[in-house]
Chains A and B, each alone.
Chain A
């Protein structure tokens, strides 16, 4: 298992600003994932972050809007840039164990409200 610390846990931001969410894992992991979960909805994968390489973004998400850093095997950040109210959501980082098809462990999430 893994302990995943995410911060901030919640924030209220103004339109047009940017916010960086941090994700710290208590052990080294190869792949980290960033998800978005809008209120009452399912999870949508934003991107996969591997250490030492560019993140891989899913359809509908671009690096300019959601830049990701992965400086080492235990840490990653997701920035939500130039925010609008439509970006209000919960952002979750996750890691997998047990191989590439293994279970996912999630951080507690960052609840973002954009006014």
Chain B
């Protein structure tokens, strides 16, 4: 079946460093959504990207959707402790099925 590959699985950063997670699909996606799940919490919607090459920003978070609508990235500038959690991408395929990435866990080094 269709898959959305998300890397890395984990990323350890010092507070203040940047963080990036990437998602790649083998097929063209109708849109891609990003969610954040805090430890012990439930997924919370962050953003949806629809257009080819789209870039959206939310404060320190920058989301990109590739030109071919097959890949996406989330970049966090100058991470803070409040950014800790797992970030999931979820791509909508041509059958209107939402395909979830495996998630990237952001860990802030003490």
Given A42-B88, A43-B88, check contact A106 B98 (CB 8 Å): no
Query: When the two chains form their complex, are residues B42 and A42 in contact, meaning their CB atoms are under 8 A apart?
Result: no
How many residues belonging to A are interface residues under a CB distance threshold of 8 Å?
16
Query: When the two chains form their complex, are residues A108 and B42 in contact, meaning their CB atoms are under 8 A apart?
Result: yes
Query: When the two chains form their complex, are residues B96 and A101 in contact, meaning their CB atoms are under 8 A apart?
Result: yes
* Inter-chain residue pair count (beta carbon < 8 A): 36
- A105 partner, pick from B45, B92, B101, B103, beta carbons under 8 A: B45
Query: When the two chains form their complex, are residues A104 and B42 in contact, meaning their CB atoms are under 8 A apart?
Result: no
Given A42-B102, A43-B100, check contact A104 B45 (CB 8 Å): yes
Given A101-B30, A101-B31, check contact A43 B96 (CB 8 Å): no
Closest to A100 in B: B96
**Docked complex Cα distance between A107 and B41 (Å):** 10
Q: B-side binding surface: helix, strand, loop or mixed?
A: strand
Query: When the two chains form their complex, are residues B44 and A106 in contact, meaning their CB atoms are under 8 A apart?
Result: yes
Interface residues of A in 77-115 (CB under 8 A from B): 92, 100-109
**Docked complex Cα distance between A86 and B98 (Å):** 24
Closest to A94 in B: B43
Closest to A6 in B: B42
For B101, the chain A residues whose CB sits under 8 A away are 42
From B33, B42, B44, B88, name the one whose CB has the most chain A CB atoms within 10 angstroms: B42
**Docked complex Cα distance between A100 and B45 (Å):** 15
Query: When the two chains form their complex, are residues B41 and A108 in contact, meaning their CB atoms are under 8 A apart?
Result: yes
Query: When the two chains form their complex, are residues A103 and B96 in contact, meaning their CB atoms are under 8 A apart?
Result: no
**Whole-angstrom distance from the CB of B102 to the nearest CB of chain A?**
5
Q: Is A29 an interface residue (CB 8 A)?
A: no
**Whole-angstrom distance from the CB of A41 to the nearest CB of chain B?**
8
For A109, the chain B residues whose CB sits under 8 A away are 42
For B35, the chain A residues whose CB sits under 8 A away are 104
**Docked complex Cα distance between A68 and B20 (Å):** 38
Q: Is A45 an interface residue (CB 8 A)?
A: yes
For B44, the chain A residues whose CB sits under 8 A away are 106
Binding site for A on B (CB under 8 A): 30-31, 33, 35, 41-45, 48, 88, 92, 96, 98, 100-103
